[in-house]
Amino acid sequence: MKFFIDTADVDAIRELHDLGMVDGVTTNPSLILKSGRNILEVTKEICSFVKGPVSAEVVALKAEDMIAEGRKLAAIAPNIAVKVPLTWDGLKTCKVLSGEGFMVNVTLCFSANQALIAAKAGATFISPFIGRLDDINLDGLDLIGDIRTIYDNYDFKTQILAASIRTANHVKDCALIGADVVTAPPAVIKALASHVLTDKGLDQFTADWAKTGQKIL
């Protein structure tokens, strides 16, 4: 499974990148706002050291404007994935930009039918939002499973990019179901290494080692 980091915080991306944990990055208008930086500048900086896909989102609502914005974003670097919403105009934009050879990430997916039509429009990635479905008492993981089945049935090449990841268990479950990618905040990626029994065992080893009075260095 590929790990994309869902943030525009360059320092946080670099930390995980140095550990080999970054296969790509996703951003959106909310994350750009949180970074306090210009979208073109911060995206260019991220692309300078992340070689995998870096999603940059259009903000227009009409296809003609989305296409123009997408082309401008794609010009930042060869590894830009233009992020478009799963609307009819977004699908039109996906068809045009993917036809021009650009990667397209179709986002805000909440149903298997939406994922099916995005694949037909040539999406490189489909981004189903797990956490937001959970928020309204629907099972976001069921959606990942449905999309996986549909895509496998018809050999669609669109990659399932599980988004709105809230917990380490979300990551595990997406891996079990067969999502191609998860995009998660840095804190969630770091949480994958945590376990209470690991901490307990380390505390015991440290206490026992102190009693030996020995040193390695």
Catalytic residues: 83
Q: What is the distance between the terminal CA atoms of the chain, rounded to a whole angstrom?
A: 38
Tally of residues, the chain:
217
Cα dihedral across residues 188, 190, 193, 199: positive or negative: negative
Determine which helix (DSSP H) or strand (DSSP E) holds 129, and give its type and residue range.
none
- Residue 7 CA to residue 23 CA, distance in Å, equals 13
Helices 63-74, 88-99: crossing angle, 10 deg rounding: 40
- Residue 112 CA to residue 115 CA, distance in Å, equals 5
Region of residue 7 (left: phi > 0; alpha: psi -120 to 50; beta: else) = beta
E-assigned strand segments in the chain: 2-6, 24-26, 54-57, 80-85, 103-109, 125-128, 159-162, 181-184
Are the CB atoms for 80 and 102 separated by under 8 Å?
yes
